[in-house]
Amino acid sequence: MKDVTFPNGFGTTPRVLIVDDMMVNRTILASMLASHGISSDLAESGQECIDLCRENTYDLILMDHRMPDMDGVDTLLVLKEMFKETGHEVPVICHTTEEGKSYINLYKAAGFADVLLKPIDPGELAVLLMKYLPDPGGDEQEAKAENEEQSQHTKTEIGVLPSWIRDIPGLNTASGLERCGTAEDYISALKIFYASIGEKAGEIEKYLAEENWDMYSARIRALKNLAGLIGAEEITDRATDLEDAVKNEEYKLLPPGTSELLTLYRCMLSSLKPVLDLEGPGQKENHKATMYGGAFGHPILYIGDEKGIVSKGIIKCLNEIGFKVITIRDELQEINLHRPDADMMLYYPTGDVVHIKHISAQLAEISRDDNKTLCFAGEPLDISSALKIHDSNFVSAVYPRPVDHEKLTEDMKRFAARQIEYSRVKNVLIIDDDKDFLKITTGWLEQDYDIDCASSDRDAMHYLEYTVPDLIVLSDELHGNSGLEIMQHTRDNPRTKGIPIIILSEKNDRENVMRILKHKPDGYLLKSMPKESLLESIDRFFAGSILKDH
């Protein structure tokens, strides 16, 4: 292990940890980093990586996936827990062979920030460094600005709440608002919490008396999730202790612990009763349903010099088939200004290689973040330069000179239809036996999606006999049947085998992650996710499955 420091263009020298059991791989990566003036520490095992992260602070970790003893996933899960304790999240990039690419993508849900393929391309590495090691001063200022914005948003939403809610003992309204997003959604969650107190408390007592530990744990876990959502922190902590007691078979702790928990829980009945008098959430507009109209007049953002002969020909043929072409210069300020104007972008790269790569990288980032279609047209050499960026996989098509206008127009029609399909309201089936969780999740998602719910495997199977949803969000733990069994049954049925399935889990430990990902779901989310994270994950799923050609 050796630390090498070089002067660089990043401002304060970033520090990167390279983790690989092959010395030659560590040496090559260290050399590549050194060429950018970036210092690196080297570790040859997962355990050494963990030890170094306890001693030092890193800006980025490059980790091999396949290592003896602790592989990349084992090590990542330990690091994630460390990051939670320190409050300093470090991006971890996995480097692996082409053979392991599809395998690694399954583990992104466990926390990998990105994937770098071996043999490592210096250009791709440079793009990742720019992406995950921005200017330290700017990064710090951006993070500070985001924190201040979030803090201000929370303060504003707290101010909307009635004062009596803010004064309820044991209720951290700031924590609840961070999870729910708005005062309106927070009040909805409080109503659901209040309405379920009698039933949930009675079931917990019933299963405790019967010593039915599976059902007892399930009810305690459901209470913990709901209490965490509204910021009832003491109830959350006590429920966690009882869940651990069952797991460790410390059954003698359950009667007194349950009594204390339910006393706190039932005290919320009187505290929250006035919430029923508050107005419920109003009707929310579905922005996806109204995002775009028909195909006629569909906007295309044309980036480049529109006065050239080739550009004029492209713009003319697009106008002739009914597209609305918006032409702008290939300048960042212009691109950002017109970013909201179209969901399709056609870039005609010209100029020096650095400029072309800079503009291409920005457009690919917009395509990735805003779910837009991106295409390149122009000179073959310029297109080749434009494609030498890390996010080139977000480029849907290229049209080198001489441009085949027939192919271009047919593609653009297809891409427009694809964008319209993306804007169609999708039907999502949520399967979970916690009815309170279903109510809250439905409230969060119904603004953008047509939501149906099933609270048992029987209800789910009956629903799927008649309806094929666009997506199933499936709890991995259901009473009487495993969620994974439902997933397998769905995939064994020729009629439903094509339905994508995202698993929703309460646990993120290695054993659970490996158990679920072995079945290769289309996604893996945690129940503890805040509202905005859940919405973003499902939005990105539909964008990735519909808008991309691969």
Residue boundaries of the structural domains of the chain = 15-134, 159-277, 299-418, 427-547
In degrees and rounded to multiples of 5, residue 450 shows phi and psi of -85, 110
Q: Is-contact 538 471, C-beta < 8 A?
A: yes
**Predicted confidence band at 300 (pLDDT cuts at 50, 70, 90)?**
very high
- Please determine, for residue 272, whether its predicted confidence score (pLDDT) is greater than 50: yes
- Please determine, for residue 524, whether its predicted confidence score (pLDDT) is greater than 80: no
What CATH fold (topology level) applies to the domain 299-418? Rossmann fold (3.40.50)
- At 106 the three-state DSSP class reads helix
Evaluate whether 15-134 and 427-547 have a shared fold: yes
pTM given for the model: 0.59
Q: Is-contact 62 28, C-beta < 8 A?
A: no
The secondary structure of residue 341, as a DSSP letter, is G
For residues 443-454, average pLDDT = 87
Take residue 267 and report the two structure tokens written for it. 């005290």
- At 158 the three-state DSSP class reads helix
Q: Is-contact 153 134, C-beta < 8 A?
A: no
Residue reference for tokens 């309405």: 195
- Residue 52 pLDDT: 93
The H or E element that residue 31 is part of is helix 23-35
- Please determine, for residue 513, whether its predicted confidence score (pLDDT) is greater than 80: no
Could you name the CATH architecture of 427-547? 3-Layer(aba) Sandwich (3.40)
123 vs 462, higher pLDDT: 462
- Residue 110 pLDDT: 61
| 212 Cβ contact list (under 8 Å, min separation 6) | none
Where would I find the beta strands (DSSP E) of 195-306? 299-303
Cα angle for residues 421, 425, 431 (degrees, 5° grid): 120
> At how many degrees (to 10) do helices 435-445 and 183-210 cross?
160
Cα angle for residues 395, 399, 400 (degrees, 5° grid): 120
Q: In whole angstroms, give the CA distance from residue 379 to residue 387.
A: 12
Q: Is the dihedral of CA 22, 27, 33, 35 positive or negative?
A: negative
- Please determine, for residue 104, whether its predicted confidence score (pLDDT) is greater than 70: no
Q: 397 forms bridges with which residues in the sheet?
A: 375
- Residue 279 pLDDT: 64
Residue 72: other Cβ atoms inside 10 A: 25
Q: Tens of pLDDT along 303-349? A: 998 788 888 889 988 988 888 899 999 998 899 899 888 889 999 99
The H or E element that residue 374 is part of is strand 373-378
Q: Is-contact 508 526, C-beta < 8 A?
A: yes
Q: In whole angstroms, give the CA distance from residue 378 to residue 165.
A: 61
H helices, E strands: number in the chain: 22, 17
What CATH fold (topology level) applies to the domain 15-134? Rossmann fold (3.40.50)
Q: Is-contact 49 83, C-beta < 8 A?
A: no
Q: In whole angstroms, give the CA distance from residue 468 to residue 497.
A: 10
375 vs 151, higher pLDDT: 375
**Nearest Cα to Cα of residue 369 among 348, 391, 347, 390:** 391
| 117 Cβ contact list (under 8 Å, min separation 6) | 95, 96, 97, 98, 101, 124
From the options 3.20.20.100, 1.20.120.160, 1.10.599.10, 3.60.21.10, give the CATH code of 159-277. 1.20.120.160
Q: In whole angstroms, give the CA distance from residue 441 to residue 508.
A: 20
Describe the chain by its helix, strand, coil percentages, rounded to 5.
55, 15, 30
- Residue 289 pLDDT: 36
The whole-chain average pLDDT of the chain stands at: 81
Take residue 404 and report the two structure tokens written for it. 């085949």
